[in-house]
């Protein structure tokens, strides 16, 4: 997925080879925006607004 805007809902990136690139996560009204990355999925350049959630099942440090 590329250039996705998540407004008050959940984005799930699931499985190896799955990725989210350049996502913007924000609330809509009282409903929080949330990005969840599981099972070797990846998220690059996510803009997670204040108070929103980004959850990873594993964390990989920068390589290089």
Answer yes or no: are the C-beta atoms of 3 and 15 closer than 8 Å: no
Average pLDDT over residues 34-51: 91
Question: Structurally, how many domains does the chain consist of?
Answer: 1
Q: Please give the model's pTM, rounded to 2 decimal places.
A: 0.79
- Residue 63: inside a domain: no
Beta-bridged to residue 46, according to DSSP, are none
- Residue 38: inside a domain: yes
Residue 59: pLDDT above 80? no
Query: Residue 44 sits in which domain range?
Result: 5-51
Q: Give the CA distances from residue 63 to residues 2, 7, 28, 29, 60, in Å, rounded to whole numbers and listed in that order.
A: 22, 31, 35, 38, 8
| Residue showing tokens 């990873």 | 56
Whole-number percent of the chain with pLDDT over 90: 55
Answer yes or no: are the C-beta atoms of 50 and 29 closer than 8 Å: no
- Residue 17: inside a domain: yes
- Residue 58: inside a domain: no
- Res 57: pLDDT: 85
Query: pLDDT by residue (tens digit) across 7-21?
Result: 989 999 999 899 999
CB half-sphere exposure, 37, CA atoms < 13 A: 21
């Amino acid at each position: 997925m590329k250039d996705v805007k998540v407004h008050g809902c959940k984005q799930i990136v699931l499985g190896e080879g799955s990725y989210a690139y350049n996502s913007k996560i924000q609330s809509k009204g009282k409903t929080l925006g949330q990005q969840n990355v599981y099972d070797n999925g990846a998220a690059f350049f996510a803009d997670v607004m204040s108070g929103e959630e980004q959850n990873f099942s594993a964390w990989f440090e920068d390589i290089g």
